[in-house]
Amino acid sequence: MLAVAAALGLSLVSCGASSVPDPQGAWVPPGYRLVWQDEFNYSGAPDSEKWGYSTGGNGWGNAEVQFYTDKRTNSYVDKGRLVIRAVNEGGMWTSARLKTQYKADWTYGYIEVRAKLPQGVGTWPAIWMLPSFDTYGGWPRSGEIDIMEHVGFDPEVVHTTVHTLAYNHKNGTQKNHHEKIPGVTTGFHIYAIEWTPQFIQWYIDGKPFFRFDNEGKTFAEWPFDIPFYLIMNVAIGGTWGGQKGIDPKLKEARMEVDYVRVYQK
C-alpha cells in the first residue's frame, strides 16, 4: 500500500488446518531462528498483545472507499486462521487493517505470511511494512516495503514494491515486480522477504523472484536500516484497486492468514 506518512512508534519485539505446502515444513533461509509468531491457534479477536488496528475512512491517500474498524465483523480468528473481512454494509464498505505497530518491530530478518487472498474486482489486499520512526523524514523518505499486493481485477498476479525518496510512485521511479501465481485466491501461498543490510529478497512458497540491493549510497536509496512493523489489510477500490471499478454484486471479500512468522539471525 502507498503510505501517506510514516508513523511514529516504539521499538518493541515480543515473542510469541492447512493445505499444501505443509506450513511446518516451510522453507527458511539457513541461519535464522524464530523470534516472533502468531499461528492463530485460538478463536475470537486477534491477540491484542501482538496486533493493533488502524481505523478510519479518509481514503488512506489512495481514494480507497472502505472504513477500517476494529470490529469482530471485520477481523477475527476462527479454525486456526485470521480472517480480514471487507463487508458491503448497504453500500458502505467496512474492513480491517491490522498492524504490529507499538507491539513488535524488526530491523532485518526473514518475514513470512501464509495467506489466501480475496476474490472480486475492486479488492486490494496487502501485506506490507512501514518504519516505526520517521528517522529520515515522512513518507517516502523513511521507506516502505510491500511484501505482497494484489488487485482483484488481475487475480493471478501478485506485486511487490519498495518506496524510498529516490524510488517512489510519485516520481515514477519505484522499484517493483509482478509475478503470475495461479490460485492465489483459492489456495494458500507463503509470501516472504529476506531483509539484510545488503538486500531485500522476495519469495513466494520459498522460491526467490525479486531482489532489491543496497547500492551503498544514501538513505534516499536505502532507508532500510531502521525498525519496521508489519501491516495486513484488505482495501476496497482506490487509485489502483478500483481502476476497473468495484463489482456491484460483491458483498464481502476475505483474506485468510494461516500464520505470521518472523526469523532473525
242-261: pLDDT as tens digits: 999 999 999 999 999 999 99
Whole-number Å distance between alpha carbons of 233 and 255: 8
Count, in order, helices (H) and strands (E) of the chain.
Answer: 0, 17
Q: What's the pLDDT band for 21 if we cut at 50, 70, 90?
A: very low
Q: Is residue 88 part of a domain?
A: yes
Length of the chain: 265
Q: Is 149 a catalytic residue?
A: yes
Q: Is residue 4 part of a domain?
A: no
Options 64, 112, 144, 221, the catalytic residue:
144
Q: CA-based Rg of the chain, rounded to a whole angstrom? A: 17
CA torsion angle 61 66 70 75 (round to 10): -120
Mean pLDDT over each residue of the chain, to the nearest integer: 91
**Mean pLDDT, residues 1-12 taken together:** 39
Per the model's pLDDT, the better-predicted residue between 23 and 147 turns out to be 147
Q: Is residue 233 part of a domain?
A: yes
Domain interval for residue 223: 23-258
Q: Is residue 1 part of a domain?
A: no
- pTM, full prediction: 0.91
Q: Residue 211: which CATH number?
A: 2.60.120.200
Q: Is residue 126 part of a domain?
A: yes
Cα–Cα nearest to 100, from 192, 204, 15, 2: 15
Cα–Cα nearest to 4, from 140, 102, 134, 142: 140
Q: Is 144 a catalytic residue?
A: yes
- What number of CA atoms fall less than 13 Å from residue 109's CA on the CB side? 22
Q: Is the pLDDT of residue 131 over 50?
A: yes
Q: What's the pLDDT band for 4 if we cut at 50, 70, 90?
A: very low
Q: Is residue 157 part of a domain?
A: yes
Q: How many domains does the chain have?
A: 1
Give the pLDDT confidence of 167-211 residue by residue, as tens digits. Answer: 998 888 989 999 999 999 999 999 999 999 999 999 999 999 999
Q: Is residue 58 part of a domain?
A: yes
Whole-number Å distance between alpha carbons of 131 and 107: 10
Whole-number Å distance between alpha carbons of 138 and 155: 32
Q: Is residue 98 part of a domain?
A: yes
Options 149, 194, 221, 256, the catalytic residue:
149
